[in-house]
Structure 1
Amino acid sequence: MRALYCYPLCFLFIAIPSAVLAAESLDERLHAELRTINHFSQQLVSANEEFIDELKSERCIKNSTQGAADLNPSCKKQALQHLETLDENNRRSEEYMANMFRGWARVYGMLRVAHTQCGINSINFDLVPSSIRVQSTVILHDPDALLLEYIEASEGVLEQDLDDIDCDAIQSFTATVQRIMIEMKRASENMR
């Protein structure tokens, strides 16, 4: 009997977000996507810090003068827990990175249509699909996973009234994205 009450609720949970998404401007959607990317980026930084802390905390094997086979039971348990924690941390880091890549694929998919509509040429979109494929294989192990996100985001923009696109807002957002990319490139170069 409870299932009968769930159907109207399920419809509301599906219909209302779609209506809200349709009413949301492209500029708002792009900024929301950027906030999501930032959220996953912060989680990734936190996970990396936890990973480093966990590496530093493992003392049992380092301080042992015996071989791994001769470790006492409590030391073996500590070493196994340490490895499980590192594996879990790696899994979460990969998940955060994959979510960030998905977000960037959606951002570039939306921007591609907006740039065409507004006559903006500050991003070479011919290079984006190959870059997305590389990111896909690094994290998702599926060369088409992010490309699909990119295409779907582009198609989503094409479904709305393109005359409503605020080209000044898109130009400003593009400049923000380009600054972020420059900062990310500098950060990765500094880590080398």
Structure 2
Amino acid sequence: MSFSRSLRVERVGFTTLQDLGRPGWAHLGVPHSGAADRASHALANRLAGNSHTSAMLETSGGLVLRAEHDVVVVLTGADCDAFVDDAPLSRCRATRVAAGQLVRVDRVRVGVRSYLAVAGGIDCPPLLGSRSHDALSGIVPQLLVDGHVLHVGEQHHKPHSLDMPIGPDRSGHVKLIRGPHAEL
């Protein structure tokens, strides 16, 4: 199999490769695994123009990648400090990364996990129908280590961006609605 695009892991941080997991194997003792935040995973894939089953990077920070070829990335999930070289990487926006540029996902500020999708998806051979890393069971189709090359699959659809803010309302106001038992 030949790949036309790739990313090199400069620093893995707290990062795993995740897709939708391995449903249907529990009777053999294999956990479902997969993305912890399925909504953020689905949104990243949709915005990247990927299939909903495409694998991506799930991180709690410390991730540094170098684009070996031009790629398009989308960041969703937890609010974090992220950059392409020194320019901020916005969440929910398809962002072109030129060959040689660094993508950094630093500390998470609010939430737990961020998702970095690449248009075309991260491609590696699946294990039991999934590319997901599951540390508890030891099922690791592709171990992420510093220096590893991540191959990017073929892009089939145009990436998109979301033109609305995503995340919690931080205005400090809580809206209350009287419930049916308020008069009791």
Q: TM-score range by the shorter chain?
A: under 0.3
- The structure with the larger Rg is 1
Q: Which has the higher helix share?
A: 1
Q: Taking CA–CA contacts closer than 8 Å with sequence separation of 6 or more, which of the two structures ends up with the larger relative contact order?
A: 2
TM-score, normalised with respect to structure 2: 0.23
Q: Which has the higher strand share?
A: 2
